[in-house]
Amino acid sequence: MLDKDRELVERIQNPESRNAAFRELMSLYQEKLYSHIRRMVGNHTDADDVLQNTFVKVYRHINKFKGDAKLYTWLYKIASNEALTYLNKETKMRSVTFEPQHAKTGFRPGPDGEEIGHKLKQAIATLPEKQRQVFDLKYFEDLKYEEIAEITGTSVGGLKASYYHAVKKIEAFLTH
């Protein structure tokens, strides 16, 4: 763990400096976590809710953080788990109803090249949750496989296979 992260965690774990230090942690990581969550859940309102749940969970469990992993991989793991929990609840609630991705995200292709982004979103939406998460962390967040392994609890070899299959499925979707 980086020295600045260690110092920040120690300040959060200290009751006297906890609130100010936690606000600092939020300002450092909320944009990256929000982007990651948004790509997973698909829309702003749900992403905000999941982000809030993520920070509540971090606040409650920061005293259990021992520094075995990097702080941001720990945060991403919590955010990913919260997003997956949300998606599982959504799937159960919608069980039979199919909702096109553009209806959920509010994203509409336009004449200025948004069509490509829309097609990529559609392709990513077809991936199984695990492949979508690995693709997101590798492609959009540019994390190393070792960091993704810490977040997902998956072996590096398994992650490479998941990423490879995700890329192939996206390529196949985009070429058809």
Read off the tokens for 44.
Answer: 């702003």
For residue 165, what are the contacts with CB-CB under 8 A and spacing of at least 6?
Answer: 131
The ranges of the chain annotated as CATH 1.10.10.10 are 109-176
**Looking at residue 102, what is its pLDDT?**
41
Q: For the whole model, what pTM was predicted?
A: 0.67
Least confident range of 48-52, 81-85, 110-114, 118-122: 110-114
Distance CA 64, CA 54 (A): 15
Distance CA 6, CA 81 (A): 23
- What does DSSP assign to residue 15? T
pLDDT at 116 over 80: no
**Looking at residue 58, what is its pLDDT?**
94
- Which residue has 């300002």 as its token pair? 27
Reported residue count of the chain is: 176
| Cβ atoms within 10 Å of 159's Cβ, excluding its own | 24
The ranges of the chain annotated as CATH 1.10.1740.10 are 1-97
Check whether domain 109-176 has CATH 1.10.10.10, yes or no: yes
Pick the CATH number of 1-97 from 3.30.565.10, 3.90.1710.10, 1.10.1740.10, 2.40.240.20: 1.10.1740.10
